[in-house]
């Protein structure tokens, strides 16, 4: 599976990077969590840091590990990234300043048993997560993340 998308966000790369890393639970939520039990989503913004979902009482799911990071410029996470079965993937976010905006480029590569339905779902999901939710959080402070209602037209799992 190969997905590449670009999104324009009216903010500095530093602000977008902060939202991508330290504030991921504010904009990433249902239906893009492994389970309805999710109580939190954490990304540790350091080499080897974990990207994981918590369900309470020490339970949860590891989505991936930070394999490359350069503050305010790029972030790469490697793991199953929420996919079921024998799948391994990498997502890379690059941030490029453009005037008073930041162009966020997402590249998501994955190998394994990936159906066309899954590929299509991830393509649609990234457009919603980054193009709607992250953008709304960074530009307006609107939260669609863990514990918040998704934007109109998106149904939780």
- Hey, is 46 helix, strand or coil? coil
Percentage of the chain beyond pLDDT 90 is 90
Return the SS3 of 125: helix
> What is the extent of the structural domain holding 68?
2-140
Digit-coded pLDDT (tens) for 46-84: 999 999 999 999 999 999 999 999 999 999 999 999 998
Query: Is 154 a domain residue?
Result: no
Asked if the model's pLDDT at residue 139 lies above 80, the reply is: yes
Beta partners for 6?
105
Q: What is the CATH number of the domain that holds 17?
A: 3.30.530.20
Position 124 in a domain: yes
On the question of pLDDT at 132 being above 70, the answer is yes
- Asked whether residue 97 is domain-assigned, the answer is yes
Instruction: Say how many domains are in the chain.
Output: 1
Q: What is the pLDDT of residue 135?
A: 98
Does some domain include residue 37?
yes
The pLDDT of residue 157 is above 50? no
Hey, what are 51's tokens?
A: 């990207």
| Rounded Cα gap, residues 107 and 153, in angstroms | 25
Is residue 156 assigned to a domain? no
What pLDDT band is residue 156 in, cutting at 50, 70 and 90?
very low
- Cα gap 79→15, rounded to integer Å: 25
Question: Is position 151 within any domain?
Answer: no
């Amino acid at each position: 599976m190969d997905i590449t998308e670009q999104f324009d966000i009216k903010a500095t790369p530093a602000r977008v990077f902060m939202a991508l890393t330290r504030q991921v639970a504010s904009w990433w939520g249902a239906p893009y969590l492994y389970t309805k039990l999710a109580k939190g989503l954490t990304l540790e913004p350091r080499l080897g840091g974990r990207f994981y979902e918590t369900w309470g009482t020490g339970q949860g799911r590891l989505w991936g590990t930070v394999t490359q990071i350069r503050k305010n410029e790029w972030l790469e996470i490697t793991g199953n990234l929420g996919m079921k079965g024998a799948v391994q993937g990498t997502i890379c976010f690059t941030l490029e300043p453009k005037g008073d905006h930041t162009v966020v480029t997402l590249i998501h590569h994955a190998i394994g048993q990936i159906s066309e339905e899954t590929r299509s779902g991830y393509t649609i999901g990234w457009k919603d997560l980054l193009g709607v939710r992250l953008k709304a959080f960074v530009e307006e402070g609107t939260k669609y993340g863990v514990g918040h209602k998704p934007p109109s037209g998106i149904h939780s799992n």
